[in-house]
Structures are given as C-alpha cells and as structure tokens.
Amino acid sequence: QVQLVESGGGLVQAGGSLILSCASSGVTFSGITMGWFRQAPGKEREFVAAISWTGVGKEYADSVKGRFTISRDNAKNTEYLQMNSLKPEDTGVYYCAAGYGGLGVATHDYHYWGQGTQVTVSA
C-alpha cells in the first residue's frame, strides 16, 4: 500500500521559513518524480514544485521561484520543500505527490497523494 505522509506545516509570520517533509512507503522511490502542490480555501489545487528521481531536474511555479527549494533523499524515501520568505498568499494545504510522468505540473501527472499539511502565513 502506497503512503505519502507530509509533516512540517504550521503557522509562521510573513518573511519566515518552514521546511516540509514527505515520507513515502510502499512505492518504488527510485525512478519516480516527486512534487508539491498546494490548495488555498476556495481555490483549485496548484503546482508548487517537482523534482526528478535523480534530483537533477527541478521545476518551480513562478510564484515560488527564488524562495522555495525542493530536494529529496532517496536513501530515506523522503522529499523536502524548504520555504523561505513566506508570504500570506502562500497559505494553504500543501500536498506531496508522486508519479511517473516526468516533471509534470498538473495534478493528473501524479499517481499518489498525501493527505496534506496546513501552512498558514500571517501578515
């Protein structure tokens, strides 16, 4: 059974930082693309970042470029999202995703999803 479990969310002031983690089990981590999406209240789920299974290929949404960094540790079956200079508009539920479709930016590019972790950025 595939499980993706996010952690690290919380409440932070604007300008602060958070690190999200996503631990996976039941899936072959090698060869799989990992991604992060987020969903704000009343809005659709949107792409944040993705990383190839080698860790070399990375893709970011324009809204987070230069502030967020995605990484992975294949030995630990874990991916991370370092979030710096957080803004109130970064608030939302952050979802970890895994898939075999390359560095996709759409939800349908991913096969597996975590339950999400809440990130709230206060002004």
Name the residue type at position 71.
Answer: S
13-54 pLDDT per residue, tens: 999 999 999 999 988 777 899 999 999 999 999 999 999 999
Q: How does the average pLDDT of the chain come out, rounded?
A: 95
pLDDT of residue 36: 98
105-116 pLDDT per residue, tens: 999 999 999 999
In sequence order, the 6+-apart residues with CB closer than 8 A to the CB of 108 are none
Residue 26 token pair: 């039941």
79 with 51: CB under 8 angstroms? Answer: yes
